[in-house]
Structure 1
């Protein structure tokens, strides 16, 4: 057994005076006593003897020498075999992913708790001259403690580790550990993980990595896919894709309960074979939308993957006012608008003003209600309305808005913006736009986006962003153009309705824990916060109308909100700074600007609780820690002291 401080073995020389004192001849002193009746026996025991006679109680001397040897050996600090090499730089990697939440049936503790206990045992074995660091490998790799020789700091950090709902990042954590300690000769990485079946490729068997396999195999059933999107046919319809997997070696029967805003949608019985998979596409309809939730009725090894969420955006009714000329009723445009569900259409004559739309007859064609959309066909108001507007323009716009060029001889569409949501699922190349003219937007009006161009570079369809509301300008005579006769026209108008009111035709996909992702942010606000289910917030970076979201640790409903729209806690509330109501509550109250996001596990590899049967080299295993060797030596020395005392008393009594 190697010693951490072999120089302390010099203390063994203390055995020489102990032996000397043991055999030392003690000279008896004369004293006068009243009687020898009681002293004869004592004199017989204490009278001077030869050297051999003094060693007749050799067992007592041997015990004392063994006691000295044990104490000196404890001072020399012997090391276990796993602690043979001194000066190591230890990096503990603790897997705190979702699968580590599984409860061990034998101990009643989670795998993470067992891993922390073993890691604490290793931390307590930190030797002088060694250093240790702590890294977690959950949803994201985090260095909790850098290289330190203070073991209590490592133990405190281990006790503070919490589980996450994300996939394991063991491979990335090992790479991070190697960057913490670049000396290959001294570096030792100890990984505490359950080594799920999907992690076989993550098992690093290099000499600097030691493994501690946590937990035993368990059966589990999980929701591995849960995505929803709006129907491309029915504006209020949606389609749900759900997948359930049986990650065990036995068949199972269960039920899947679907709810929308806590209202029951359906209950589906599921029968799965061993390692079986169940997948369905479920159609539904809802105008108000909300939170769609799925729950598996099953008692298995892991709970976090038995529930999943998705967001169904609301489809509110849109008030649309169509302003036309008496001699040009815009039959095609009106028919298309009437065919789009969720539109409350009001048609008025420009000569009569906006009386039916809530304004004064004979007014300036500008409605008082700014919550809807105004469509101007063949007419232009004297001033821009303070709301979204669509212009089928045949003349120049209001002051400082736009001007039209000369008529185009052959207004065939030669180029379109394929990335614009306004032209999604639309192909307008080679379409004749009779009456098309070039649109020149004034810089003070806003930054235009060209959607359709002719061969000569004339812009015949543009969109403009402005604070009062978005604007689309189309130069075409719909009565003579090919556009109204094509299926692309109603599709384009539907896209326009969604674009005006910032409604996506597709669903925002449910996100996975531990993933770096971007979410469309179709607003002018560049200051955005992500609110977690518990109400805590953090800033999010926005670039090119996309919000970049760093990996999240927990499943649930999140909110991507404009921070200025989030209400401050009331004077009677005692919430700490940064902690507010849940995102779902704020969104349902209608006071915040932003969207809800659903985050699920949906990772079959993480939900598989069967521990991989992988041969980990024996030399790569690490001691479970426990007390150091010197502690056991001291306990043995104390036992010898008690034994020697018993022998002395027995000799004295005898």
Structure 2
């Protein structure tokens, strides 16, 4: 035992005057009397009771001394070595997925409340929760009421426990000496804890089965069938038979029922091909009643195809462009030949005045805002890539390729040159032209009062809207010469142009792990997904649906039998100072009652 305020122990010296008061003998005043026989009987009774009177005096002194000692000990704030003896106490409650099983979170909250009750007077504590990240529920405070309210606010989520979020606790040695850090967890996580973290284990091992992976994807082909992939982990000691139910749209629209015989551990993947699979929400459920129900459900979302409409402005070589575009016609953002409201235009030669907002120009000719001038005879040259890390060059391997139709060209000042010849003639560059109201009016006059209807409007002239800016790639060579159309890199180059101009990304995951990605929610919150299911997410100016599901084997297994906790992690229950104060008040009350009943002196 030690004392937080040992200076108050000097108060024990007050026992000396207390004992002196009780030990002082009171001598009666002598008086003469002529009727001695009347007092003789009284003195005989007094001598008979003198021994009991002395015991009553000593009992009163004992009660008062004990009460005084207990009050001094209460002021000195005694603590045990294994109690909440640090100046600051950090209580971290694990609220990850596995804590939903078998009342583990409730047990962790009860254990944390015991530590709050054992907090000494003047001691300060803080409540945190930890699943994917460390979140503060309360600041450091001495108010037990506030700490209890912080524990009441702790709720479980579906995020995996992340022990690396505690790493900063192990880096500050001076801070570790001034505070005690307790983690209330079932121990179902991978990774090591910092040495400064004391683990308070809750929960017992349980048999459980759960989905560890689920994915639904389009498979390239004429009908774009869907491929389904999932994997199941079993924490049971024996084999388990279970049905996996696959549904579309809602959980009641069942598409397949797959009987499974699960072996202990991570089972082999299950794959399906759905010829008539449709985009939208997909559900997978394991029909089993086990310790944790959340991991028996998985969700995936397949978005509707949104092809990029491409218009080709090269009549002489149209067939080559068409084959190139159609070769990338599959997938979420495949290319689609269309002259109706195109997203992207591919030019060979002269650029029309009312072009789309995004365009690529091969073998430029004439006048255009995308170059200052083109001159000279065509020549043959090798491509030298000067920006190999640019997104356009991610898949297109153009360095060293020989092209024809190269001419002298002067790019705009703000152009970014990606490739050039050995003599420094620009071969590929990107430029953006911003148009004023006068520019758009001139475009209207040059194009006979027409404009591309797909452009993003910001200026108006004569009731029709024109784009305020256009982005173009200028490729200073002619793919029709030296049969570059037939080179394997040509369709890759066209796809790269479309992908970079339209800012296309790969098809998003059908399902995200809880806590694994940061999103902007429709209510304005920015953060990870913390619950399994479908969520509406803001993506730019649009709102899209994403799915969240599946957990790693450490969360599904619920086996914490290998985890041992030292005996030093133990709460003192109620603070010792308050026990001593209660005992002092009880002794004072007892002495008061006995005194008035003439049982003590």
TM-score band (shorter)? 0.7 to 0.9
Aligned equivalents of 2:365 and 2:406: distance in 1?
11
- Contact 2:214/2:550, CA 8 A, preserved across alignment: no
1:387 aligns with 2:329: no
Give the CA deviation at 1:16: 4.8
Residue in 2 that maps onto 1:251: 239
Q: Quick check: 2:514–2:549 contact (8 Å CA) kept in 1?
A: yes
The answer to whether the 8 A contact 1:219-1:300 is kept is: yes
1:544 maps to none
The SS at the match of 2:112 is: helix
Contact 2:241/2:259, CA 8 A, preserved across alignment: yes
Secondary structure at the residue paired with 1:278?
coil
Offset of residue 279 of structure 1: 1.9
Matching residue of 1:613: 562
**What is the deviation of 1:121?**
1.9
Partner of residue 460, structure 1: 427
Judge conservation of contact 2:374–2:410 (CA < 8 Å) in 1.
Answer: yes
Residue 93 of structure 1 corresponds to 91
Of 118, 121, 125 in structure 2, the residue corresponding to residue 125 of structure 1 is 118
Shift of 1:245: 1.6
Partner of 1:593: 542
Ranges in structure 2 where 5+ consecutive residues have no aligned partner? 30-40, 434-467
Measure the CA separation in 1 of the matches of 2:91 and 2:164: 10
Pair 1:188 & 2:180 matched:
yes
Q: Is the 8 A contact 1:2 1:84 kept in 2?
A: no
C-alpha displacement of 1:237 = 5.3
- Matches of 2:479 and 2:189 in 1, distance apart? 62
1:429 deviates by 4.2
Say which of 412, 415, 427 aligns to 2:382: 412
Task: Report the Cα offset of residue 209 of structure 1.
Answer: 4.6
Q: For residue 508 of structure 1, report the CA deviation from its aligned partner.
A: 4.7
How far 1:610 moved relative to its partner?
A: 1.6
> Are the counterparts in 1 of residues 358 and 471 from structure 2 also a CA contact under 8 Å?
yes
Stretches of structure 1 that go unaligned for 5 or more consecutive residues are 28-43, 347-356, 358-368, 518-529, 539-549, 563-591
Which position in structure 1 is the counterpart of 2:156?
A: 163
Match of residue 272 from structure 1: 262
CA distance in 2, matches of 1:231, 1:423: 26
- 1:199-348 equivalent positions in 2, closer than 5 A: 199=191, 201-202=192-193, 204=195, 209-227=197-215, 231=219, 236=224, 239-262=227-250, 266-283=256-273, 289-325=279-315, 328-338=316-326, 340-341=328-329, 345=337
What corresponds to 2:446 in structure 1? Answer: none
Give a deviation string over 1:10-44, Cα, whole Å, max 9, x none.
Answer: 565687599679x99999xxxxxxxxxxxxxxxx9
Residue in 1 that maps onto 2:49: 53
The equivalent residue for 1:581 is none
User: Secondary structure of the equivalent of 2:481?
Assistant: coil
1:81 maps to 2:80: yes
Counterpart Cα distance in 1 of 2:9 and 2:520: 58
- Report how far residue 372 of structure 1 moved: 3.8
* Cα distance in 1 between the residues matched to 2:118 and 2:404: 85
Q: Work out whether residues 190 and 622 of structure 1, in 8 Å CA contact, stay in contact via their aligned partners in 2.
A: no
Provide closer, same or farther for how the CA distance between residues 153 and 128 of structure 1 changes in structure 2, counting only shifts above 3 A. same
SS of the residue aligned with 1:482? helix
Q: Does 1:532 align with 2:521?
A: yes
Q: Return the alpha-carbon distance in structure 2 between the equivalents of residues 322 and 476 of structure 1.
A: 17
Q: Which of 634, 642, 652 is the equivalent residue of 2:582?
A: 634
Inter-partner Cα distance in structure 2 for 1:230 and 1:436: 41
Assess if the C-alpha contact under 8 Å between 1:338 and 1:345 holds in 2.
yes
Matched, 1:433 2:403: yes
Q: Secondary structure at the match of 2:381?
A: coil
Question: Is 1:602 matched with 2:551?
Answer: yes
Partners of 2:274 and 2:470 in 1: CA distance: 32
| SS of equivalent to 1:626 | coil
CA distance in 1, matches of 2:232, 2:481: 54
State the Cα distance separating 1:270 from its structure 2 match.
3.0
Aligned pairs, number:
546
> Structure 1 residue 197: deviation in Å?
5.6
TM-aligned CA deviation for residue 609 of structure 1 = 1.9
Partner SS state of residue 205, structure 2: coil
* CA–CA separation in structure 2 for the residues paired with 1:66 and 1:234: 98
Q: Is the 8 A contact 1:390 1:472 kept in 2?
A: yes
Q: CA deviation at 1:215?
A: 1.6
Is the 1:380–1:393 Cα contact (8 Å) retained in structure 2? no
TM-score by length of 2: 0.73
Contact 1:387 1:470 (C-alpha < 8 Å) held by counterparts: yes
Cα drift, residue 62 of structure 1: 7.6
Contact 2:67–2:588 (Cα < 8 Å) also in 1:
no
Cα displacement (A) at 1:425: 4.2
Contact persistence 2:67–2:584 (CA under 8 A): no
The answer on 1:375 being equivalent to 2:335 is no
Deviations 1:106-150 (A, max 9, x none): xxx3x2332222222212222245443444333212444454444
Take 2:594 and 2:229, find their aligned partners in 1: how far apart are those partners? 79
Aligned-CA RMSD value: 4.6
- Whether the 8 Å contact between 1:448 and 1:465 is mirrored in structure 2 is no
- Do the aligned partners of 2:84 and 2:115 also contact (CA within 8 Å) in 1? no
Q: Note if contact 2:19-2:61 (Cα within 8 Å) is conserved in structure 1.
A: no
SS in 2 for 1:434: strand
What SS is found at the alignment partner of 1:411?
A: strand
Question: How far has the Cα of 1:261 moved from its partner?
Answer: 4.4
After superposition, the Cα gap between the structure-2 partners of 1:482 and 1:399, relative to the gap in structure 1 and judged at 3 Å, is: same
The structure 2 residue matched to 1:103, chosen from 101, 104, 114, is 101
Deviation at 1:194, TM superposition (A): 1.7
Aligned partner of 2:483 in structure 1 is 482
Deviation per residue, 1:572-614 (Å, 9 max, x gap) = xxxxxxxxxxxxxxxxxxxx43655544453322333222434
Q: Which residue of 2 aligns with 1:566?
A: none
Pairwise CA distance, 1:246:
1.7
Q: In 2, Cα distance between the equivalents of 1:80 and 1:7?
A: 18
Q: Distance in 2 between matches of 1:344 and 1:226?
A: 30
